[in-house]
Structure 1
Amino acid sequence: MLSFLIMNMAPGNPVDMFINPNVPPEMRELRKELLGLNDPVYVQYFKWLAGVLRGELGYSFSSYAPVTELIGARIGPTLLLASSSLAVGLIIAIPIGILSAVKHNTRLDYLMTGLSFLGTSIPPFFLGLGLIYILGVELKWLPTGGMKTLGGDGGFADIAIHLIMPVLVLGMTIAGKKVRYVRASMLDVLGQDYLRTARSKGLSEWAVTNRHALRNALIPIIAVIGAEIPLLLGGSIIIEQVFQWPGIGQLTMEAILSRDYPTLMGLNLVAASVVLLTNLLIDILYAAVDPRIEFN
């Protein structure tokens, strides 16, 4: 409801954004009437809500295509980008965080922590533009944008090479934030009495760290990772614009600029669903990681 109200409070409307300024005012009013924009805001909202309850998200004001089709066509590329970036970020963050915790208060720890701050502080759009200039324009190693080569086959290799730079940008951002969480969680666990007991029984440091400490340290890490997923989908808006990736982020920007209310509301509904499903998944993973937690 708040999203719908805020969108309708924004200046401009879909008719003003797309119709030629020379069109007579009566034609504009007719167009608004056909789109239902002359109805009170609460009437527009309940019409949209009634459609949702019927499984319909309405039609785009700009392309007149069903919103479900627009989102369905874009959600695949966004999920591919987000999941690949999250995997790369965790592959970088977890080993570095563990190493930083094991070697805490050493030069290696300070170096790892400093690099994590660097990864967090560099704006993703700036890093993306830098990679485009260096790897795409100067060295010509990678394509500068898009999801596939124009006129190409659009196969796995073609998509993978286009995926490298946006995944590097998002993955480095995720890793920069998660290294400190992994380090802090591991440090908290490494000081526990049961680990000192495990060492006194002759277990190797590798077994103590990776078989016993890591599993118990994963509980707070899972919570942080779960909170990252909705933020990752939102943060991909900028990256998709920079790299012209045809996903939900790019669709969101197009819908904002065109005041496409049905598409924006559909995207908000998807985002809210992702948050709810992510929280459910986190609860399930808690029980999978920690045997002390059981489903009631």
Structure 2
Amino acid sequence: MGRYIVRRLLIAIPVFFGITLLSFLIMNMAPGNPVDMLINPNTPKEMLELKKELLGLNDPLHVQYLKWLGGFLQGELGYSFSSFAPVSQLIGERIGPTLLLASASLLLGILIAIPAGIISAVHQNSRLDYMMTALSFLGTSIPPFFLGLGLIYVMGIELGWLPTGGMTTLGGTGGIGDIILHMILPVTVLGVTIAGKKVRYVRASMLDVLQQDYLRTARAKGLSEFMVTNKHALRNALIPIITVVGAEIPLLLGGSIIMEQVFQWPGIGQLTMEAILSRDYPTLMGLNLIAACIVLSMNLVTDILYATVDPRITYS
């Protein structure tokens, strides 16, 4: 296993730098210019050119990329074109709230999806199965931003039970209880969306495993149905579930961009939108760097979990 992990990490290095190169080229191919977003349109052309020169935007693309790469290899991500703050500082301030929101949403989605999928599979073609399937389709079909706006209107405006945005109450102490209260609505929206997509995967995987001969043998030995389903069947059904959950994490971070805008959550999503609107190339490169690390690491973690769940899987 150790040699396999080292080999995967070595393969990930050129993939990682390939991602940064493509990201840099795509950003610079997009219409617009950072200087146009920073300075009043009536500014003399000479001043615009001077600003571009100071930011290094007049250099050829390969020179700009090599400068950024040299800074990255020295542990620096550059400075934001809009706020002129270090990119590492901007990301460090925002990544915590995003990870908190994403991890809580993923946990809620899994806690809903796995029991619901198991119940649906065990009671195949029953009313309970049809109800679970209908709810999963409903959770998948409702756009997250629409569900979020609906919950804000009902729970926040009409009933006044929950805050409608932000991470803490303005002027408040900002304690754990206050943060949890502000997390309820966005976590519910993301958790329901994740659960809606995952219930069908869990159900299909469990149905495939429940027909296996070794489960009939386990029942014949006198094991309870609870042990047969939740210990023997579930563990062997986890392989495809791990795959879809591992793929969900990068998508969840991408989807949090919309949710953070809806609920004004101060995370990576809001920073990404601000960087896109201001054509802040260094900040966007830093965010793409984080996304690439998450995708590559989750692929490796998923493969390791395969072997952990199923001892028959080995890596030589």
Give, in angstroms, the shift of residue 294 of structure 1.
Answer: 3.6
Q: 1:192 aligns with which of 202, 206, 212?
A: 212
Match of 1:90 in 2: 110
Aligned match of 1:31: 51
Aligned to 1:135: 155
2:172 is aligned with 1:152: yes
Aligned twin of 2:65:
45
Partner of 2:243: 223
Aligned partner of 1:57 in structure 2 is 77
**Residue 269 of structure 1 aligns with which residue?**
289
Whole-Å Cα distance in 1 between the matches of residues 308 and 194 of structure 2? Answer: 24
Matched, 1:240 2:240: no
Count of residue correspondences = 296
Which runs of 5 or more structure 2 residues have no equivalent in the other structure? 1-20
**What amino acid maps onto 1:101 in structure 2?**
A
AA matched with 1:262: P
SS of corresponding position for 1:291: coil
Task: Specify which of 201, 213, 217 is matched with residue 181 of structure 1.
Answer: 201
Distance 2:254 2:231 in 1: 35
Query: Cα RMSD (Å) of the superposition?
Result: 0.9
Amino acid at match of 1:90: I
Percent identity (aligned): 79
Match of 1:255 in 2: 275
In structure 1, C-alpha distance between the alignment counterparts of 2:70 and 2:78, rounded to whole Å: 10
TM-score after normalising by structure 1: 0.98
1:253 counterpart SS class? helix
1:108 paired residue among 94, 114, 128: 128
The ranges of structure 1 where at least 4 consecutive aligned residues each deviate by more than 3 angstroms after the TM superposition are: none
Q: State the SS of the aligned residue for 2:168.
A: coil
Secondary structure class of the residue paired with 2:312:
coil
Q: Any gaps of 5 or more consecutive residues in structure 1?
A: none
Amino acid aligned to 1:106 = S
What's the offset of the Cα at 1:198?
0.7
* 1:175 alignment partner, SS class: helix
- 2:312 aligns with 292
Partner Cα distance (2:106, 2:29) in 1 = 35
| TM-score normalised by length of structure 2 | 0.92
CA distance in 1, matches of 2:228, 2:143: 37
